[in-house]
Structure 1
Amino acid sequence: MADENTLPPTSPLVLTFGFELEFAVKSLPDQFLDLEPNDPRRVYGITRPENYPKDQFLPYLGSPDVIEENEVLHEETLKNFNAQLDALQIDIAKLLTENGLPAVAQLDEQEPENPSIEDLKYWVISNDATINHGLSHNPNEPTYFWWPIEIQSPAYIYNEDNKQKVRNVLRCIDSVYRTNCDLSADIHVHIGNEQKGLDARTVRNFMAFVYTFENQIATIHPPHYMTQRAFSKPVRTHSLLAQVARDYRAKIEQLGAEESLREFDEDFIIDNILERDTVDDLVKLLSSPELEEDRLYNRLTYSICNLQTDAEKVKKTIEFRQHKSTFDDEEVYHWITVCASLVHFASTVDEEVLRKFCKEHFYKTVDEFSIVEVLMALGRPAQAYYYGIRLFARKDERAEEERKLRKEIEDENRKKEQEREHRRNLEERRRQEEEDLQKEEKRLEQEEKKRQQEEEEEKRLEELLKRIGKGDL
């Protein structure tokens, strides 16, 4: 079934990729001593605006949020914060450009009237307020300030030379600035087919594969990316398809047909994905049901909403949103390779072979069918070796991380449940008090009514006695 949303075949693909990295950069006002003098990387002067007087210290920055109640001070601090952040972006762009990697600060970027992928030819240095930033929370370094930075690569043709350029950028920045990569920052990788987009066949094959092996691929990343803490939630738990599947599973369980659940998952989920004819249908099915409420914050780990018919025409990409922020250029190299390999595999694999393969492995655990075997199925032995060695070396450490994370989440959930129980108790208490108050008001109302009736009865008796005394009766 074809319509205007069914794109023509795009094989062979001309794979393109974009790379985005979020991180923080440490700076220090000129008037303070550097507590890390043996670190040769720069902290002084990196946020000084070009037109700022050379004989004056930069203003010391507090947090704009902390001083928000003082409107004048808040505005002045925010103005200084933005000026210094702009200066840092310009400084980073200048560094990359001088090292043969053309870059521009976002504030200097020119927006073309009719943008195309050819316009995405510079590294763009911008900022992201979701990254932890501000005065250092380390009591041993109270004067340092962390700045939230995001860098975006050009739209590169996927090849070894361009992957090497990404590695060069990471080395260049990390060798000059003191950087920090925590769990508030991520890496996003975009994989596209130049500006053409991807056809429904490639997209459905891709989504069937990553839906099946999402748990295996997740072992590449820190454990929190598959939990409620993750900024971008897993497709296998938070997509519309996952929600619909849960509803159907609940009905099957109510009917007492639990033995049918395994077959249901394999058939319902995989067939549902592979039988979609349009990209728009796939986007709706495999995105968050709340996507349209906020297309930035409600994207899942594998985001295909950029491929929608009405999406922007330049970045027609699949976005991978679950990698931790890092300046480890080897790790980044292998992850970009994995992302591109997943899309290339989806564009070439036989659909019936894929259908059978996904159904056979849908219920396999990460121990029964590991990321090494997934990568070998993609034809990526180098990445299978790289991640296999890392996972083996960190097996005990990761198990401990997962144990701690489970405990933290259990504690959080327990605390939330206690808070909910407390609110329920307060609500029940309030309801009971209102009910008691209503009863008391009703009792008082009845007493008042009875008192009035008694008064009226007394008046009638008095009137009757008066009339008897006068001989009127």
Structure 2
Amino acid sequence: MTHGKEVEFLVRYVYQLDPEETGADPKEDLKQLKKANPGVVAIPWGEEAGGIVPVDCVRALKRNGVDINHFETDPEEKRARPVTTHHNAQYCLLAEFHRWNIEDDLTVEGTAEDRKRDKPAPGQPHFGWYGLELISPANPNTAASHQEMCFVLGVLRQKYGDRMRVNDSCGLHVHVGMGPYAIPVDRLKRIAAFLYAADPLISVLHPPNLQDNEFCCSIRRHANVTWGMTAAAAAEEIAGSTGGGSGMPIDGVWDAESRTGRQPVPLRDAVRELLACETGHGIYRLLQYLDRGCNYNFNNYRVIPEPKGFVTIEFRQHEGTLDPARIEAWARLCVGLTEWAAFDMTEEQLGEVAVATETVERQQKGVDALRQSLLRQLLGLGGIR
């Protein structure tokens, strides 16, 4: 299986003062600003940071031989699309997302402490932090692909130093798929059932603030299947939706407001419905929560009759990091667990995962030791030692 990594981070920038107010020569003033702030992106007076900071990052990577797209305001227009076809998608060469990308990320921002510290004194330049997302090509799970991420981050860290960083608004997302092709439904529903069952266990690998927030909601707490949507109801809804089932959320009994006072269904019943799905779109509907992806995001399977674009499962829960070793470890685990669930997991093992997570949720004493024991088993299944 293939994977792609998305690393969110911040780069510090500084604005040039108004030349009319300072009386300085604009070109000389900007030159001195850059000299006084090495490694900080200098923004000329009257320009927007969005037109400078991402381009500066792309330029640095291109100079060092990284195959990266030019920065554009519409990321969907600059991503490479499949150019090869084969009657059996399993044997097609990967032809999508073969270059690196850098995009704006409005959800990544400096903290209140940053803004307080960066507030300029009278007559001094204004500093700020610009949120970006570094997107890797879709790669096989090999040492070479992980080494490439190490190199790319090394180039950026060498250029920006401590002026490039992460905070609590940043995340690390990993997309797992089969190149530009959809994961077959019989495999996709096994993955969905496993991740749904294992969610409370995998979540303890992450900080508490990422175990259930607006950008990576818990699939077990919020997905439609938790609140009673069945595979049959999802299929009926998709068939009757306008535009052939575009995948946009449908108001009604499954929206957030209508869940008040309702009880979640038993885990075994929810898993049974996921395994009964006959389409990727149906799995997406069962695991949907509003218009946001949950911590395990199946939203890329919402187009029928066949998914288009990048058809992956997105793991959204990891905290922001610029450490290549941590990025590699998490990516390998995401791919390993997905492959195991899709191809090797037995019905008995899925049942064991369900029992284990139910035990963790019920256990009041010794829960940490129990989690550690279960996690060791789970990580072993994913090929991580």
Q: Which runs of 5+ in 2 are unaligned?
A: 17-28, 83-93, 121-125, 230-253, 361-366
Conservation of the 8 A alpha-carbon contact between 1:241 and 1:285: yes
Asked if 2 retains the 8 angstrom alpha-carbon contact of 1:93 and 1:105, the reply is yes
What secondary structure sits across from 1:130 in the alignment?
coil
Match of 1:399 in 2: none
Task: From the superposition, tell whether residues 350 and 215 of structure 1 become closer, same or farther in structure 2 (CA, over 3 Å).
Answer: closer
Deviation (angstroms), 1:232: 2.2
Give the aligned partner of residue 141 of structure 2.
158
Gaps of 5+ in 1: 1-14, 49-57, 60-76, 253-260, 292-297, 382-473
Q: How does 1:218-229 map to 2 (within 5 A)?
A: 218-227=203-212, 229=213
Question: Is 1:138 the counterpart of 2:116 in the alignment?
Answer: yes
In the alignment, is the contact (CA less than 8 A) between 1:17 and 1:157 conserved in 2? yes
1:93 aligns with 2:58: yes
Q: Secondary structure at the match of 2:62?
A: helix
Distance 1:41 1:233, change over 3 A: farther
Query: Structure 1 residues 275 and 362, CA, compared in 2 at 3 Å: closer, same or farther?
Result: farther
Over 3 Å counting, the alpha-carbon distance change for 1:221 and 1:110 in structure 2 is: closer
2:7 to 12, 21, 30: 21
Match of 1:240 in 2: 224
Q: SS state of the match for residue 233, structure 1?
A: coil
Indicate conservation of the 8 Å contact 1:270/1:359, yes or no: no
Is the CA contact (8 Å cut-off) linking 2:95 and 2:180 kept in structure 1? no
Note if contact 1:134-1:145 (Cα within 8 Å) is conserved in structure 2.
Answer: no
Structure with larger Rg: 1
Residues paired across the two proteins, number: 314
Taking structure 2 as the reference length, the TM-score comes to 0.72
Q: Residue 103 of structure 2 is aligned with which of 123, 126, 133?
A: 126
AA aligned to 1:167 is C
- In structure 2, C-alpha distance between the alignment counterparts of 1:110 and 1:279, rounded to whole Å: 22
- Give the equivalent residue in structure 1 for 2:68: 103
Tell me, in whole angstroms, the C-alpha distance in 1 between the residues paired with 2:350 and 2:338: 16
Query: Is 1:337–2:332 an aligned residue pair?
Result: yes
Report how far residue 110 of structure 1 moved: 9.6
Percent of paired sites with the same residue: 21
Give per-residue Cα distances to partners, 1:206-225, cap 9 Å, x unaligned: 12222222122112222111
Q: Secondary structure at the match of 2:195?
A: helix
Aligned counterpart in structure 2 of residue 304 of structure 1, from 274, 291, 298: 298
Bigger drift between 153-162 and 272-281 goes to 272-281
Q: Post-superposition shift, 1:286?
A: 1.2
Moved more, 310-319 or 213-222: 310-319
Q: Which of 182, 189, 205 is the matching residue for 2:190?
A: 205
Letter in 2 for 1:269: A
| Cα separation, partners in 2 of 1:41 and 1:323, compared to 1, 3 Å | farther
1:438 counterpart residue number: none
Q: Aligned partners of 1:181, 1:98: CA distance in 2, in Å?
A: 24
How much has 1:163 moved relative to structure 2? 1.4
1:362 is matched with: 357
TM-score normalised per structure 1: 0.59
Alignment check: 8 A CA contact 1:212 1:361 kept: no
**Is this contact kept in 2: 1:341–1:378, CA < 8 A?**
yes
Whether contact under 8 Å (1:224, 1:230) holds in the other structure is no
Offset of residue 140 of structure 1: 6.4
1:350 is displaced (CA, Å) by: 4.1
CA distance 1:226–1:111, change in 2 (3 Å): closer
Aligned to 1:270: 271
1:120–1:155 Cα contact (<8 Å) kept = yes
* Contact 1:19–1:187 (CA under 8 A) maintained in structure 2: yes
Higher share in helix: 1
SS of the counterpart of 1:208? helix
1:42 pairs with one of 15, 39, 43: 39
Q: Counterpart in 2 of 1:170?
A: 153
Amino acid at match of 1:25: V
Q: CA deviation at 1:268?
A: 1.1
